[in-house]
């Protein structure tokens, strides 16, 4: 009997924390895989318009973004500008941009490519129409007007 | 004497802390936002201005001017009623003479159904604000979405986006196509 009593005197047994780093690393790996880093820094101000009938953009690696809005830095004026990758661009650059984006993708995925237009809600439609015309000429027919999911508009 | 013990064990207690710091760094830097938006398909470019012969009754004209005002079928329109007007136009429930004609078509899974020939024609000015344009697009999308849902509930008992069978989705799409046509850009109703 004495033997058993001796064991109890040690109090609560220590929980092994040796597996804790592994658990945390698995969490870390999950986050690294499931999220995409923002690779472009915005140089135009974008406040997306709200809409109720939005669809999720699937296959993010097949999406190319065109940003339209007022430059963040006032020295570039207040007129709406187009941003492709990391710099300002003009309407004429869009066809080249689409061609480069298309080259970077697999042959099989090219017809699934989507162009997402991220434009500020105060942008005039003139510049958007011009972009759409260029996209039509470039053969990028699938577009997405990026907008926030709103519960109800006004 | 010491070497006999072999390599001393490294204390791994701080490993968890290091991993946690990394984890928090990733949580802070990544953007979890999913990109959402209204999807549209652009028409291929037309070389010459070939006018498509469409009966006037089949066209539902929506114009937005540079002051973000709506002109629906020649009358000043309201964004709040646009969805219902679109649905009423497209479905033409009372078979009115100035609303689109319907054609009896045989579609897989649905049998003989009347398919509306209506087309929504959307025109905007270069000065229209993007926000207004998106709101109009949103209302039009909602109109088509609701019509698809109604048909889907009637025929298959579930809403359109809950349909699992792609063939059923295609059948619904064939009856109610997303018939929104956007005109070549031009300046309309400029208000100075």
Reduce the secondary structure of chain A to three states and give it as a string: CHHHHHHHCCCCCCCCCCCHHHHHHHHHHHHHHHCCCCCCCCCEECCCCEECCCEECCCHHHEEEEEEEEECCHHHCCCCEEEECCEEECCCHHHHHHHHHHHCCCCCCHHHCEEEEEECCCCEHHHHHHHHHHHHHHCCCEEEEECEECCCCC
pLDDT(A10) > 70: no
Q: Within a domain: residue B34?
A: no
- Please tell me if residue A39 touches chain B, with a CB cutoff of 8 Å: no
pLDDT band at A23 (very low <50, low <70, confident <90, very high): confident
Q: What is the pTM of this model?
A: 0.76
pLDDT(B59) > 70: yes
What share of chain A in percent tops pLDDT 70? 88
Q: Smallest Cβ distance to A147: which of B29, B37, B42?
A: B37
Go through chain A and tell me how many residues it has.
154
Q: What is the number of domains present in chain B?
A: 1
Residue of A nearest to B133 (CA): A125
Which of A124, A132, A140 to probe the B interface (max B CBs under 10 A)? A124
- Please tell me if residue B135 touches chain A, with a CB cutoff of 8 Å: yes
- Please tell me if residue A40 touches chain B, with a CB cutoff of 8 Å: no
Q: Smallest Cβ distance to B133: which of A54, A55, A125?
A: A125
Q: How many CA atoms lie within 13 A of B25 on its CB side?
A: 10
Beta strands in chain B (DSSP E): 36-41, 59-64, 70-72, 75-77, 102-107, 111-116, 119-124, 180-182
Residue of B nearest to A118 (CA): B37
- Please tell me if residue A147 touches chain B, with a CB cutoff of 8 Å: yes
In tens, the pLDDT along B121-176 reads 888 888 888 889 898 999 999 898 898 898 889 888 888 888 888 888 888 888 88
Q: What ipTM does this complex have?
A: 0.74
pLDDT of residue B172: 86
Q: Within a domain: residue B7?
A: no
Distances (CA, A) of A131 to A10, A48, A84, B86, B156: 75, 17, 12, 27, 40
Domain span holding position B74: 56-182
Q: Smallest Cβ distance to B45: which of A20, A49, A136?
A: A136
Q: Within a domain: residue B14?
A: no
The domain made up of A44-149 has a fold known as Nucleotidyltransferase; domain 5 (3.30.420)
Residue ranges per structural domain of chain A: 2-34, 44-149
Of the listed ranges A9-13, B78-82, B146-150, the least confidently predicted one is: A9-13
In tens, the pLDDT along B82-134 reads 888 888 888 888 877 778 878 877 877 777 888 888 888 888 888 888 889 89
């Amino acid at each position: 009997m004495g033997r058993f009593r001796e064991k109890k005197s040690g109090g609560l047994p220590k929980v092994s924390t040796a597996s804790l780093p592994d658990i945390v690393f698995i969490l870390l790996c999950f986050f690294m895989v499931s999220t995409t880093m923002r690779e472009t820094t915005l140089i135009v101000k974008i406040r997306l318009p709200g809409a109720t009938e939005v669809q999720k953009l699937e296959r993010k690696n097949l999406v190319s973004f065109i940003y339209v809005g007022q430059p963040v830095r006032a020295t570039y004026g207040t007129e709406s500008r187009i941003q492709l990758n990391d710099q300002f661009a003009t309407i004429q650059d869009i066809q080249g941009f689409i061609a480069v984006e298309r080259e970077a993708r697999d042959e099989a995925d090219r017809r699934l490519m989507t162009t997402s237009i991220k434009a500020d809600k105060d942008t005039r439609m003139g510049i958007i129409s011009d972009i759409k015309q260029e996209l039509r000429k470039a053969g990028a027919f699938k577009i997405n007007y990026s907008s926030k999911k709103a519960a109800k508009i006004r | 004497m010491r070497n006999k013990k072999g390599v001393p064990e490294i204390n791994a207690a701080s490993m968890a802390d290091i991993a946690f710091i990394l984890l928090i760094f990733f949580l802070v830097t990544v953007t979890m936002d999913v990109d959402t938006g209204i999807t549209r398909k652009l028409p291929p470019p037309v070389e010459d201005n070939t006018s498509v012969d469409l009966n006037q009754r089949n066209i539902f004209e929506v114009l937005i001017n540079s002051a973000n005002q709506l002109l629906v079928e020649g009358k000043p329109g309201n964004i709040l009623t646009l969805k219902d007007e679109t649905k009423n136009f497209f479905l033409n429930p009372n078979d009115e003479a100035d609303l689109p004609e319907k054609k009896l078509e045989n579609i897989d899974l649905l049998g003989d159904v009347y398919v509306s020939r209506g087309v929504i024609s959307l025109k905007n000015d270069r000065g229209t604000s993007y926000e207004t344009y998106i709101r109009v697009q949103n209302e039009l999308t909602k109109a088509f979405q609701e019509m698809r849902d109604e048909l889907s509930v009637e025929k298959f008992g579930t809403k359109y986006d809950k349909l699992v069978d792609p063939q059923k989705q295609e059948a619904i799409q064939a009856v109610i196509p997303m018939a929104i046509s956007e005109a070549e850009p031009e300046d309309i109703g400029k208000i100075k």
